[in-house]
Amino acid sequence: MNSVRLKNKSISGIKSWPKNDRPREKLFREGEHKLSNTELLAILIRSGVKGQSAIDLARKIIQKFKTFRKLSHTDTSQWKEFKGLGQAKIAQIKAAIEIGRRFGEDEVSQDRKKVETSKDIVDILMPRMRDLKKEVFKVAVLDSQNTIIEIYEATQGTVNKANPVIREIFQKALQNYAVSIICVHNHPSGDPTPSQQDKEFTKRLVEGGNALQIRVLDHIIIGDNIFYSFDDEGVL
């Protein structure tokens, strides 16, 4: 009997459901943390198509991509099978996930987190950088207490290499009166093992920092839930 009722709900659309069963009403009644991934996604989708509610559509999307992490790094061709899901809705979904990622970075800027280990930086940047399709180079500038002043993106490279400009990195550090910096970039392959280019760049970076009296505390390479730290490995 319950399965028949749920089937009828899907066909008739969310607006005809009892208010207590609707995702948006549930969010305001119980809080967003109480909603399933499917219900959260259905709120973003807002409306379904004939014979298919937003919940049905959201469920199919979750079944295909499994997690929000995998869902966020897709191209348009992977969404073609979902009828009623145009570019506007896809953009809304991706934007919402990106807001979630940036929320963590914003908290760091406001809380002025103190860095004590390489993992402190990795915990901040891993969620965003592990899935990027291009190499991105970020710099954390720190004060004399190893407290983060700012994290900024220095440059964006090609799929297999980043070419950050050392002058740009230290110029920003000087503008922020930084005492030290930590550089971070990702390897889209998922393997954080440093290339010869990574090693040569790190050497030049440390030399530049010594000349300007700005200490390079670390150069970290982000992979797929793993990372390489030049400092941890004792090769900085």
Give the span between the Cα atoms of 113 and 107, in whole angstroms: 9
Q: Which residue ranges make up each domain of the chain?
A: 2-101, 112-229
Locate 203 and state its tokens: 């050497």
Query: Which residue do the tokens 């295909």 mark?
Result: 64
Yes or no: is domain 112-229 CATH 3.30.70.260? no
Q: Please give the Cα distance from 104 to 232 (Å, whole number).
A: 24
Residue 106 has a pLDDT of 63
For 39-88, give the DSSP string.
HHHHHHH---BTTB-HHHHHHHHHHHH-SHHHHHS--GGGGTTSTT--HH
Record the pTM: 0.63
Contact indicator for 130, 123 with CB cutoff of 8 Å: no
Residue 2: predicted pLDDT? 43
Q: 49 - beta bridge partners?
A: 52
Which pLDDT value is given to residue 7? 45
Per-residue pLDDT at 152: 86
pLDDT 10s digits, 2-41: 444 444 444 445 565 655 567 888 888 888 777 888 888 8
pLDDT number for residue 142 = 95
Instruction: Supply the pLDDT for residue 206.
Output: 94
Residue among 116, 102, 122 at smallest CA distance from 228: 122
pLDDT tens-digit profile of 208-233? 999 999 999 999 999 999 999 999 99
Q: Sort 3 into a burial class: Cβ within 10 Å, 0-12 / 13-18 / 19+.
A: exposed
Token look-up 């954390």 returns: 140
Length of the chain, in residues: 236
Give the dihedral sign, CA 17/21/27/29. positive
Residue numbers of the chain with a pLDDT score lower than 50 = 1-12, 159
Per DSSP, 217 falls in state E
